[in-house]
Amino acid sequence: KKIAVVIVAAGSGSRFGDPIPKQYHLLGGKPLLRHCIESFAKLVPLEMIRVIYNPDHRDRYDDAMNGLSLPEPIAGGLTRQQSVLNGLRSLEDENPDYVLIHDAARPGISDDVILRVVNALSEHSGAIPTLPVMDTIKQAGHSGFIEKTIPRAQLHRAQTPQGFHFATILKAHKQFEGLEFTDDAALLEQLGLDVICVEGDVANDKVTRPDDMDRAHDRLYTGSK
Ligand code: CTP
Ligand code: MG
């Protein structure tokens, strides 16, 4: 099968709270984005990887890519969803069978997780890595008073890469352009298509706030969970 990868790295990291976007911060001496590229490059040819970036950060991008000859990066949009669509459109000529869409803010992606996603695509329209929810989840109103407890047995934490049949996800993204879903599986859910959960990995948790960097470091380099 022909597999393409879209790595979304066009965000500004507002919750991370640093002028340098988190995807360009170093983890063990390498930018988060670079960790992601190297993981996918073990399994997919470089010419099938598209990075979606903010051209304002071209210098940081070039630094992160030093020595790797990837296709030209694609300019992202104001929302993650728009950035993904820009990436998918850039692959229309290649017309891959599958596409894996990954957050640059998840540097701890492993071969195992990637392969579980890819393997599930022979039978499903989409596949996403997930982890069980460990905490008790409460729904509260704006005043802070609890309204109810959401049973957690059927809840899953969604990670990336989220894998899809390319034609299916491209069509869905075109149909829902302008909306703001925070992941790609949500678009197929809207269409009633089958997206299967495969086992994720705590090392693949997203870096969102500054203290997530320490956790990411420990999980990547000391194997601690
Ligand atoms: N992303 C993107 N284009 C956007 C917004 C987000 O490519 N317009 C990417 C981010 O770079 C990140 C991934 O989508 O790799 C997941 O998004 P998130 O963790 O929300 O990152 P940011 O949007 O950068 O952070 P924040 O929401 O805190 O501003
Ligand atoms: Mg965001």
Q: Above 80 in pLDDT, residue 223?
A: no
CATH class, domain 3-221, is alpha beta
pLDDT at 157 over 90: yes
Which residue owns the Cα nearest ligand 1 atom 23?
11
Query: Average pLDDT of the chain?
Result: 96
201 alpha carbon to ligand 2 midpoint, in Å?
21
Q: 11: CA distance to ligand 2 center in Å?
A: 6
Residue 160 DSSP label: S
ipTM: 0.99
Chain-centroid distance, C-alpha 26: 18
CB 41 within 8 A of CB 49: yes
Q: Please tell me the distance from the alpha carbon of residue 169 to that of residue 13, in angstroms, as a whole number.
A: 25
Query: Region 160-180: what's the mean pLDDT?
Result: 97
Q: How many A from CA of 67 to the centre of ligand 2?
A: 29
Ligand 1: which residues within 6 Å by Cβ? Answer: 8-16, 23, 52, 76-80, 83, 103-105, 206, 208
* pLDDT, tens digit (0-9, with 9 covering 90-100), for 45-92: 999 999 999 999 999 999 999 999 999 999 999 999 999 999 999 999
- Ligand 2 centroid to Cα of residue 190, in Å, is 21
Identify the helix (H) or strand (E) that includes residue 163: strand 162-165
Testing ligand 1's pocket by substitution, the residue of 34, 61, 78, 80 carrying the most ligand atoms inside 8 A of its CB is 80
Output the six-digit token pair for 17: 């709270």
Q: Are 14 and 22 contacting, i.e. CB atoms less than 8 angstroms apart?
A: no
Nearest ligand by distance to the CA of 102: 1
Could you tell me where the DSSP H helices lie in 108-201? 111-120, 166-175, 185-190
- pLDDT of the residue at 220: 82
The pLDDT value recorded for residue 13 is 97
When computed from its CA atoms, the radius of gyration of the chain, rounded to whole angstroms, is 17
Nearest protein CA to atom 13 of ligand 1, as residue: 103
Distance between Cα 15 and ligand 2 center (Å):
8
Of ligand 1's listed atoms, the one at least distance from the Cα of 9 is 11
DSSP secondary structure code for residue 191 in this structure: T
Interatomic CA distance for residues 225 and 223, integer angstroms: 6
